[in-house]
Amino acid sequence: MKTSVLIVLNFVFGCCYAQNSVLIANDSIPLHSQIFSLSPMSKKTDKVNGLVLGLGHLENKNIDYQIINGINIEANPAPAVGALMAFMSLVYLPEIIRNNKKSDSVKNTEDYYKIKNMNCAPDLKLNGLNISTGCFLTTTNMNGLNISAGNKFNNFNGFSVTVLGTIIGHQNGLSVGIYNANNDLTGSTVGIYNQSYQLKGLHLGIFNQTRINKGVQIGILNKSNSKGFQLGLWNINNKRSMPFLNW
C-alpha cells in the first residue's frame, strides 16, 4: 500500500521534470529526467539529477534501468533483519572460527568464498551520496560515498561506512563495518570479520579470510588459501601456520 501511495505522489512531483527524448524499445511511453523523485521511483523516470527521497528501491520487472546522479536518502525497514543477522554473527563468531578447521577440499571451493551478485530489475546506478537506514533491494552499482546500516552492491567504487557491513561483488575503495565481504577487493576493509575471494589490498580486523591473497592481512586471526603477507596473533596460509608474521 505504501509503495502504491509513493508511486502516486511521484507522479504529482513529476511536474518538475525535464523530458528525455529516449524511448523504451517497442514502447511509446517517454522516459524522463528529473531533479527530484520519491522512491520507489516511477517506471517513467529513468534518471534523477538531484535528490531522491523515500523508502528505498525495490525490485520491479517493469523497469530496466534507473540512474541517480546526486543524493539518495531512504528510510528502509531492512535494518531490523540485518541487525539480527549481525548479532547472530557475533554470538557465533567463535564457532565460525572453529569451522575453519574443516578440510581444505571444502574451504578451497569457490562457493565457500564467492558472493552471489543480485540480479533483479531494475539495474540501478548511483553516482554521489547514499544515506540510508537499510540496503538496496535491487541490482545496484555505486560510485561515491555510502553511509548506511548495511548494504549490498554488485560493483562499488568509493567509501562505504556502515554499522553492520558491506557486501560487494567488485570493490575499489574502503569499507568500514562489522562484516565486510567481497569477491574482488582493490582497496581496504576494516571490521570484525573481513572476507574476500581475491584480496589485492588490505584486510584490517579481528578475523580476516581470503582465498587468493595478493595483499596484506592484519588481525587477530588471518586465513588465506594462498601465500600472502599476514600480521597477527595467528596466521594461516597454504604453506604454513605461524604466530605474528607469515608470508
Q: What angle do CA 66, 122, 110 make, to 5 degrees?
A: 120
Q: Which residue has the cell 565486510?
A: 180
Q: Which residues contact 172 (CB under 8 A, 6 or more apart)?
A: 156, 157, 158, 186, 187
Question: For 37-68, what is each residue's pLDDT tens digit?
Answer: 999 998 899 999 999 999 988 888 888 999 99
pLDDT of 78 strictly over 80? no
Under the banding of pLDDT at 50, 70 and 90, the label for residue 26 is very low
Structural domains in the chain (count): 1
Q: Which residues contact 81 (CB under 8 A, 6 or more apart)?
A: none
pLDDT of 3 strictly over 80? no
Mean pLDDT of 123-128: 96
Q: State residue 169's pLDDT score.
A: 95
Residue 215 placed within a domain: yes
Are 122 and 66 within 8 A, CB to CB? yes
Mean pLDDT of 76-104: 61
Of residues 109 and 239, the one with the higher pLDDT is 239
pLDDT of 21 strictly over 90? no
Question: For 133-166, what is each residue's pLDDT tens digit?
Answer: 988 889 999 999 999 999 999 999 999 999 989 9
Residue 35 placed within a domain: no
Residue 4 placed within a domain: no
Residue 42 placed within a domain: no
Lowest mean pLDDT among 108-117, 143-152, 175-184: 108-117
Residue 76 placed within a domain: yes
- Count of Cβ atoms closer than 10 Å to residue 230 Cβ: 26
Q: Which residues contact 87 (CB under 8 A, 6 or more apart)?
A: none
Mean pLDDT of 59-88: 80
Q: Residue 104, SS3?
A: helix
State which residues form the domain around 112: 56-246
- Count of Cβ atoms closer than 10 Å to residue 66 Cβ: 27
Task: From residue 232, give the alpha-carbon distance in Å to each of 171, 179, 218, 219.
Answer: 24, 18, 6, 5
* All three cell numbers of 233: 596473533
Q: State residue 59's pLDDT score.
A: 86
Q: How do beta strands 65-74 and 123-132 pair?
A: parallel
As a whole number, the mean pLDDT across the chain is: 82
Q: Which residue has the cell 553492520?
A: 164
Residue 168 placed within a domain: yes
Q: How far apart are CA 51 and CA 140, in angstroms?
A: 17
Under the banding of pLDDT at 50, 70 and 90, the label for residue 121 is confident
Helix (H) or strand (E) holding 197, with range, is: strand 179-199
Q: State residue 2's pLDDT score.
A: 38
DSSP 8-state class, residue 14: G
Q: How far apart are CA 37 and CA 68, in angstroms?
A: 10
Q: State residue 89's pLDDT score.
A: 61
Q: Residue 154, SS3?
A: strand
Q: State residue 32's pLDDT score.
A: 75
Are 85 and 69 within 8 A, CB to CB? no
pLDDT of 11 strictly over 60? no
Q: State residue 76's pLDDT score.
A: 80
Residue 25 placed within a domain: no
Under the banding of pLDDT at 50, 70 and 90, the label for residue 4 is very low
Residue 138 placed within a domain: yes
pLDDT of 98 strictly over 90? no
* All three cell numbers of 134: 537499510
The rounded percent of the chain whose pLDDT value lies above 90 is 57
